[in-house]
Amino acid sequence: MKINFKKYLLNAIWLTFPILLWNVIFASRLPAQFLPDIFWKDIPLPVMYGENILRTVIFAMPVFISLGESPKKQGLAWYLIGTSIYFLAWLPLLFAPGSAWSTSMAGFMAPAYTPLLWMVGIALLGNEFYFPLRYRPIYYIAPAILFTIFHCTHAAIIYLRNF
């Protein structure tokens, strides 16, 4: 049996790795409001479950999406620009947590709403599923939008408690 390594290299899951690595490296360095003991304290169950279920979908679904051999320029742009904006959204919180931007609702919540940009990029880069269903970007974008709504709701609850 011949193993098709190209199939594994052209899997959308690889696109989630920079995001996951960034989170693993820097999440513990965010302001105290983002630490798990505070961030998850007294969050309404529908928000908590909705966010976590959709997070699981968002990070698991790319395993089932193959990428085309030549990336689509629009999808690549959304992914690269979106990932950059997501990373940049963290910097004020990491290096200037007391700044006007970091203590504003828009700045505090930036890591919650900017992921939608790179998620749209993944959706647009997708070529087909590994199972018999015609691939359409909306199949990934719809749960990405729902996740963003829950994630932003959670971040807004934390913001309103602390500022």
Distance CA 47, CA 27 (A): 20
Asked if the model's pLDDT at residue 2 lies above 70, the reply is no
Cα Rg of the chain, angstroms: 17
Distance CA 123, CA 32 (A): 33
Q: Comparing 37-41, 45-49, 50-54, 88-92, which segment has the lowest mean pLDDT?
A: 37-41
Distance CA 139, CA 158 (A): 30
| Residue range 94-120: mean pLDDT, rounded | 98
- Given a contact cutoff of 8 angstroms between Cβ atoms, the answer to whether 158 and 40 are in contact is no
Give the pLDDT of residue 94.
98
pTM: 0.94
User: What is the DSSP secondary-structure string of 89-144?
Assistant: HHHHHHH-TTSTTTTSHHHHHHHHHTHHHHHHHHHHHEEEESSSS---THHHHHHH
